A and B are shown apart, each in its own frame.
Chain A
Amino acid sequence: MKCCDTMDSETKREIIMEHYTNPLNRDTIDDPKYIKINSNSETCIDNLDIYVLFNNNIIEDIHFNGEACAISTSAASIMTRLLKNKTIKEVKELINEYKDMIETGKEYDRLEEALVYSDIYKQQNRKGCAIIPWLGIEKAIAEYEKAK
């Protein structure tokens, strides 16, 4: 799914709320083939477990679970869809672009639906929430690469 370049704030809000109320891939995975990462932050109370299945340098599947706010939950939901079936190389690039968007507001087309967070940089107290699930993926990749 591709998002238009200029999303108005109401559309962004609707997408975030939809992913918050009906998150995708929100469940606990009990399968040793998945790498499990806990991602939380010092500054907020979000606490997510991320489950990632790698196969031959490709992310084949992502799930998440935990207690988190609307921003963090929706960001995890959107991320699970966006990163699925992408190579580690692509995912690393997307992580950098996403982080840059959260810090500066710069929009990258490849972030597709995750562009709903392009205004988050204006809210200091929410930046951490938007980034938490992505930090989990970053850690999962590091673990996968270390184990190889």
Chain B
Amino acid sequence: MNREDFPILSNNLVYLDNGATTLKPKVVIDKITEYYSSYSANAHRGDYDISLKVDNEYEKTRDLVKKFINASSRKEIIFTSGTTESINMIAFGFFKDYLEENEEIIITKSEHASNVIPWFKIAKDNKLIIKYIDLDDNYEVTIDNLKKIITPKTRVISLAGITNVLGDLRPLKDIIKTAHENNILVVVDGAQYVPHTKVDVRALDIDFLAFSAHKMCGPTGVGILYGKENLLEKLAPHNYGGGMNESFDNLNEVYLKPLPTRLEAGTPNIAGVIGFGATIEYLNSIGLSNIRKYEHELGKYLFDNLSKIRHITIVNKKPSSIIAFNIDGIFSQDVAVYLNKYGICVRAGNHCAKILKDEVGVKNTVRVSLYFYNTKEEIDKIIDLLKDKNKILNEML
């Protein structure tokens, strides 16, 4: 779908590493170039025309994001540098104060590092307990397994909406319902989730959501922290400085601005945020449900064809738009280097999910992650290159 929108695809690149980052459509590139070439002023200085234009464009993105995830208020949309910063702000700005000794944080073994290590850190500092939901035979989270580990001490569950190694969609509606019945807050790592399916924070009743622009055709260095307003009000800023204060005279007289600017100190990534606005308009024009449907078909096509190759072991138990596999007897990195010789980009490694090996039994895999601009022809190409093991062995060095 929509391949012609992406300048980088004009030279036959086969890009199958969309879990890492995504390609950028011309409308987004143009929007960023336009900012730098015709109104590159700072934000929040509205005394002259080009700065007013910056404010308007910058805040327009906030409205677009609000609508995109169906938040209740613009105050609930905070611009950050990406998912990692958003989750760190949630963990350190909110939960470090909220959680008391021996209280429990629930995650899983298939989380990305940025949804593991911040929790490890506050757990160590505050003497908290980390618990893992057992994954079922498909490496998925079930409500039953979640219920088994909830105790009166459980205060927060933090999960990816869609995981970054196997691409499974978590049953968030039921998870959040169960959590809230037990007075537990839910943080959703949306890095792989928001780009690929329609997200409605109010329908799901999500407490905190973090995601990145660059994984959904937007610029790098921009992310979103969504939080319910009453929770964000209690989130302590990690950056103090310009833009976030109302006034200051001395140590005891520093007054902070209201949400959302209180949490956005310093000059933000203006070009990125404005570019992200164009990204959302672009994705809306395609439609998230169309993207989901198309990727689902493509993922099934990839899974079915990889399954037919005898020397390939797929980690996933069922189709997904993210597939992790290995060629028997060949290290994943050698496979990635081999495919690179044919202009195909895939990822080899542990994909920042270093504790998933406990569950799936393999540490390193080749990962193919799809987006809507990928095609069956590209999948045919990779299948063709992978089905001849001798060819791989001959050409991988």
Interface residues, chain A, CB within 8 Å of chain B? 13, 16-17, 44-46, 67-71, 73, 125-126, 129
Residue of B nearest to A68 (CB): B331
- B199 vs chain A, min Cβ distance (A): 32
The answer to whether B393 touches A69 (Cβ under 8 A) is: no
Name which of B61-69, B89-97, B212-220, B333-341 contacts chain A: B333-341
- B353 vs chain A, min Cβ distance (A): 13
The reply on B269 being an interface residue by CB < 8 A is no
The answer to whether B340 touches A69 (Cβ under 8 A) is: no
Complex interface: chain B residues within 8 A of A68 (CB): 331
The answer to whether A67 touches B334 (Cβ under 8 A) is: no
Residue of B nearest to A125 (CB): B337
Complex interface: chain B residues within 8 A of A73 (CB): 331
The reply on B293 being an interface residue by CB < 8 A is no
Complex interface: chain A residues within 8 A of B350 (CB): 45
- B117 vs chain A, min Cβ distance (A): 16
A-B contact pairs, 21 of them (CB 8 A): A17-B393, A44-B333, A45-B332, A45-B348, A45-B350, A45-B364, A46-B333, A67-B331, A67-B363, A68-B331, A69-B331, A69-B334, A69-B337, A70-B330, A70-B331, A70-B396, A70-B397, A71-B397, A73-B331, A125-B337, A126-B337
A17–B350 CA distance with the chains assembled, in angstroms: 24
- A90 vs chain B, min Cβ distance (A): 29
A70–B48 CA distance with the chains assembled, in angstroms: 61
The reply on B268 being an interface residue by CB < 8 A is no
Interface centre among A13, A46, A70 (most CB of B within 10 A): A70
The reply on B349 being an interface residue by CB < 8 A is yes
Interface centre among A16, A45, A125 (most CB of B within 10 A): A45
Contacts A67-B363, A125-B340 given; does A45 touch B333 at CB 8 Å = yes
- A32 vs chain B, min Cβ distance (A): 27
A16–B331 CA distance with the chains assembled, in angstroms: 14
Complex interface: chain A residues within 8 A of B363 (CB): 67
With A13-B397, A69-B333, A125-B337 already in contact, 20 other A-B pairs whose C-beta atoms are closer than 8 Å: A16-B397, A44-B333, A45-B332, A45-B348, A45-B349, A45-B350, A45-B364, A46-B333, A67-B331, A67-B363, A67-B364, A68-B331, A69-B331, A69-B337, A70-B331, A70-B396, A71-B397, A73-B331, A125-B340, A129-B333
- A122 vs chain B, min Cβ distance (A): 12
